[in-house]
Structure 1
Amino acid sequence: MKKIISMVLAGLMAFGITGCSNKNVKDTSKSETKVEDSNKKSSHYPVTITTYDYAKKPVEVTFEKSPEKVIAVYQNSIETLLALGLEDKIIATAGLDHEVKDEYKDAFSKLKYYEKLPTKEEVIGLQPDFILSWYSLFDEKRFGDVGFWHERSINTYMSQNSGVISPNTLQNEYDDILNMGKVFDVEDKANKIVSTMKDEIEKAKDFVKGKEAVRAVILEVQKDGVYRIYGEDSIGGDIAKKVGADLVAKSNGKIGNEDLVKLNPDVIFTVYYGKEIERDSALKSIMENPALSSVSAINSKRVNPIMLSEVYSSGIRTLDGIKTISKGLYPELYGNK
C-alpha cells in the first residue's frame, strides 16, 4: 500500500513539474513577442532632419513619433501630405493658390481650410505638433520664427525652394518629399514619387541624345514689355537644363522686349498663377505683342503657359513641371498630345 501511495505521489510531482515548466516557456514566448513587436513599432523613430530658421541657418529637429496634428500652409505643403496619404494627420490648411489636384480633392474636402491665413494665436489654440510651410510664413508678422514653436515642442519644416536656399533645384524638391517620408514613416511612398519624377527626366534626356539643343527661355510677364526671367537658378531652369535645353536667358532678373528679340528663343515658357484667365493673359501678352513679332517661338507658335506652382516650391507638381517643359521642348516625345 505504501508502495502504491509513493508511486502516485511521484507521478503527481512529475506532472506538476512538467506543467510548471510548460507554463513558464509559454509565458516567456509571449513576453519575447511583445518586446519584438514593440521594437518593430518604434524602430523608425527617433528621426532627425535638418530645416531652417528665419535667418536661414540650419536647425535640426527630432521627431520621437509620427506627427498627429499637422498644420500645412501653401500648395506644395498640402498636396505633398495628401500624396503621401496623410490626410488623417492634418488638422488645418491654408494658402492655396488654386484648387488641389483632382486626385486629392476628395481627401482635401474633409480638411479644415482657412480662407485667410490663421493668426498666430489661432494656431496656438489648435495645439499642433508640426507646422509645414514656406520660409515667408515664419516672419514676425505671420507665425514668428521657428524657435517660438520649437520651445513649445512643435516641430517645423520650411520648403527649401521657398526662399531658404539658393539656387532652387530639383534636388531640393526631391529632398523635401523624402524628408516628409522620413518624418511620417512612409518612405516607400515618398521614394516612389521621387523615382517617377527622375524617370521622367531620364526619358527626355534619352530622347534628345545626339540632337541639337533647343533654345528656350522661361519668363513671367510682369507688365507690358517687362519680363521676369526664371534662369538656371530656378526649378524651371534646372529642369530645362537637365532635359537638354539651351537656356538663352541664364540669370534670374528682368529683361525687356528688345532683349527678348535679341535672345530669339525657339521656345518660350510663360509663367502664370493658376487661373484660366491668367493663363490666357500670359499667352496673349507674348503672342499678341507686336514688338516680339520676329521672335522664332512666336512665329512657330511655340509659346507654352506653365503654372507657377510647377516651377516654384513645386512639391508634387514638380512632375507636372517636368512634363510641361519636356513636352514644350520635344512635343514629338509625347506624341504631339
Structure 2
Amino acid sequence: MSPWNNQLIILGNGFDLECQLRSQFDDYFQTRMEKPWLCEPYAQWKENPDDPENLWDHIFAFEKENNPKSWKDVEAVILKWVSCKGMNDYVEIIHPIQKRYSFLQKVKALGGWPLPSSLPERISYIKDEDAFRNLLFEELQLMEKAFEVFLTKEAASLDYIRKSCNLFRVLRDADTEEDPRDTSNYILSFNYTVPQPDKIDSSLSDFRIACWRNVHGRLGKDHIIFGIDMNQLPNQQKSNPAVLQFTKTYRVLRQSGDTSVKEESVGLLEPYRIGENFNTIKVYGHSLGQADYPYFKAIFDRIDLYGSNTKLLFYFPSDHPYIKDGLYQQITGLLTAYGESMPDRSRGDNLMHKMLLEGRLALSELIVPDLES
C-alpha cells in the first residue's frame, strides 16, 4: 500500500460533451452566423461595444464555405492564418468587408450616419504581414470574449451542472484502491469549465480537490484563450513576436501573472514537491492530439513514468463504446511519441510493454450513471 494517496485527473472536452454541454466551436459559430455582419441582405444595425464585429467572424465564415471539413479546427485555422498566409490572402478576406461598408463610409464622410461597426476602421491601416498579424491578435481577443459569453450562458444550465458534478464523482472514485475520502485530487482540465456543486446544494470541498487548473483559462475567473502549438511553427517564425504571441506557451505565461493564478496555494504537481507522487493518473475525454502533447510529456517526465509505480488509466463512457478502438490508437501514439523522446531509447521502446506487465496501463469503460440523478 502506498504511503500517500494522490491522483491526477486530466479532462478534455469529451467530459463536457458527455454532459450535453454545447461547448464545441461550431455550436458557438452558429450564433455568430446570425449576426448582422454575416447575414445577407445587409440590414441596419448598431454595434454592441461588448460584442463587436470581429475579423475572425469573417475568417471562419470564409473557412466554413471553402473548407467545410476542417473549418471547425480552431487551432489549425489560427495557425494557417498566422503562419501560412500572405498579404494577398489578407486582402482577399478584407476586400469584401471594405466593399460592404464602402457606401456607408462615403455617407459618413459627408457628415451623415455613423458606421454601425468599428471593424472597417481597424482594418484600414494594414500595410504588411506583421501588422496584419498584430491585428489578428487583437481581433482574436474579441473572439475569445464572445466565446466566453456564449459558453458561460450554456454552462449556467442546472442540467449541465448536475450532470458534470455526477460524472466527476464517478470518474474520481473509479478504480481507487484507497478510501476515496482520503484521496487528494489534482485536476488538469483542458476545458474552460469547472463543476459548480454550490448551485445544486453541495460544495466544491466535497469533491476533495487539492488543485484545479484550467490550462487555457476558466469561465468567470481567467480570460479564456485560443492558441497554437509553437512546435508547429516553422523555425524562422518562432522568434517573430508577431507570430509568437499566438502560441499557447506565450499566452499561458502571460496569464500566469494574473492574481487569480498567483492565489493558488497548492500547485498541480504538489505531491512531487513534497516528496510524494501520484498513485494514479486518469484521463477522460481528451483526444490526445499533438497540440497538447507537451503537457503530457512534462507530466510524464516529472513523475518518472517509466520508473515509478504510477498507474496511467484512460476511460471511455459506457454509452459511447464505439470510440474505444480510436482511443487505443491515440494512446499508443501518445506513449510511442513519449518513448521516442526518452534519453534511453531502449527504455522508450519498452515503455508500454513494461507498464502493461506491471498493470499500470489500461483503457477501461466508465459506467456512466443516470446523469439526471
TM (norm. structure 1) is: 0.32
Larger Rg computed on CA atoms: 1
TM (norm. structure 2) is: 0.30
Which of the two has greater strand per residue?
Answer: 1
Q: Which has the higher contact order (CA 8 A, sep 6+)?
A: 2
